[in-house]
């Protein structure tokens, strides 16, 4: 990985500008790869609207909102979504949506909590593909009214995907993203020992859903594969004390993104190597305003390169991962190929297993306007 886009976390009563500054302070002098920021808008969106133009001018052009998590105080209503979308789009930013219909989810969650709060599979059953599709559909309708662009993060299901593709067919400029967990893992993980570790939102789905997402990658309907990286530890995962709705949501994903996509996509002939490069590098760089500095091998582009040796193999274990999580959702999975080296702006930062980036030189990337 040579570039990451992290999300800001907006505290209660915190301005967006302050949330950006807080995040940047964590990265400055510590980030070994180049980095940009997506700005989460979760607290009292109406009074943050005035901040958007200035942030976009400063190169923070992508924003994320949630159509769910009402109880956690993070949800935007559709009316708030409408206001944010029009403001972001008219200034040349891009709005990203975590698409799940909250009313639908609250109703089903209540139902399953009274049935059996301890069974992690109810996390999946309470957050349905229908809830995902319905939010995508609703958001696309609003985007259509303003002729605005819209980015749907971490699509998990066939239904959600279809809603996105239909919107695109209607002429709406909608970008679609999925993540490796929705491609190579399915809801059977919730039946495993410690199945609650795999609680992530949206949840893992059926194998049919996985296959439909692979097909959409191959056809070019999905633009980006992101990670939604959330490296919760076992201790954090256990803090939900058996309640599926209280377990921290999320899976670690940065380190395994390329290996999983290569192994289960390219080596298994689901997608080509060129398609992999497009969804991991070229498309996200273009969509998030850092192309052609990133996402291209060209004169004047950064010499960010990953050299992968397809003739080797290894097995993913928590022990050979480097992130904060002390477990891996992909434990025991075989990887075809192995990292030879990672090069950032012409300098080798990883060679084989050796980390060579003693000097921190990751830079903040300021994005250009979306249009």
User: In the complex, which residues of this chain contact Zn ion (CB under 5 A)?
Assistant: 98
Around Cβ 352, how many Cβ atoms within 10 Å? 11
The minimum distance between CB 249 and Zn ion, in angstroms, equals: 8
The minimum distance between CB 367 and Zn ion, in angstroms, equals: 20
Q: Distance between CA 70 and CA 49 in Å, rounded?
A: 20
Residue with tokens 């709005």, as numbered in its chain = 95
Residue 186 half-sphere exposure toward CB, CA atoms < 13 A: 11
Q: Distance between CA 218 and CA 178 in Å, rounded?
A: 13
Task: Kindly tell me which of 177 and 187 has the beta carbon lying closer to Zn ion.
Answer: 177
Determine the length of the chain. Answer: 371
The minimum distance between CB 202 and Zn ion, in angstroms, equals: 8
Long-range CB contacts for residues 326-329, cutoff 8 Å, separation at least 24: 326/233, 326/234, 327/197, 327/233, 327/234, 327/237, 328/252, 328/256, 329/181, 329/185, 329/189, 329/197, 329/198, 329/251, 329/252
The minimum distance between CB 189 and Zn ion, in angstroms, equals: 19
Tell me whether residue 78 is exposed, middle or buried, using C-beta atoms within 10 angstroms of its C-beta: 0 to 12, 13 to 18, 19 or more.
middle
What are the φ/ψ torsions at residue 73 (nearest 5 degrees)?
75, 25
């Amino acid at each position: 990985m040579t570039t990451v886009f992290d999300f800001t976390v907006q505290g209660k009563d915190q301005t967006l500008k302050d949330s950006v500054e807080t995040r940047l302070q964590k990265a400055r002098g510590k980030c070994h790869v180049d980095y940009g920021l997506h700005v989460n808008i979760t607290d009292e969106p109406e009074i943050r609207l005035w901040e958007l133009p200035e942030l976009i001018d400063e190169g923070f052009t992508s924003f994320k909102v949630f159509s769910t998590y009402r109880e956690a105080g993070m949800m935007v209503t559709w009316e708030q979504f409408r206001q944010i979308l029009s403001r972001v789009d008219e200034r040349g930013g891009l709005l990203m949506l975590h698409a799940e219909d909250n009313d639908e989810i609250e109703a089903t969650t209540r139902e399953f909590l009274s049935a059996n709060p301890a069974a992690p599979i109810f996390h999946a059953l309470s957050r349905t593909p229908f809830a995902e599709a319905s939010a995508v559909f609703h958001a696309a309708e609003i985007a259509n009214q303003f002729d605005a662009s819209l980015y749907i993060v971490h699509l998990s299901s066939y239904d959600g995907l279809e809603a996105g593709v239909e919107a695109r067919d209607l002429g709406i400029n909608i970008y679609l993203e999925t993540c490796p967990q929705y491609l190579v893992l399915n809801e059977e993980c919730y039946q495993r020992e410690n199945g609650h570790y795999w609680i992530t939102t949206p949840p893992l789905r059926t194998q049919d859903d996985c296959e439909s997402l692979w097909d959409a990658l191959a056809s070019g309907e999905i633009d980006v594969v992101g990670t939604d990286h959330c490296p919760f530890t076992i201790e954090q995962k256990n803090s939900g004390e058996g309640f599926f709705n209280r377990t921290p949501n999320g899976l670690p994903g940065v380190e395994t993104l390329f290996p999983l996509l290569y192994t289960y996509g390219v080596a298994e002939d689901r997608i080509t190597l060129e398609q992999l490069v497009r969804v991991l590098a070229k498309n996200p760089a273009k969509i998030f305003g850092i192309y052609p500095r990133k996402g291209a091998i060209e004169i004047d582009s950064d010499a960010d390169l990953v050299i992968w040796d397809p003739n080797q193999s290894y097995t993913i274990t928590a022990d050979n991962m480097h992130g904060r999580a002390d477990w891996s959702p992909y434990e025991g999975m075989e990887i075809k190929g192995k990292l030879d080296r990672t090069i950032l702006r012409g300098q080798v930062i990883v060679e084989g297993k050796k980390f060579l980036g003693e000097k921190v030189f990751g830079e903040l990337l300021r994005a250009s306007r979306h249009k």
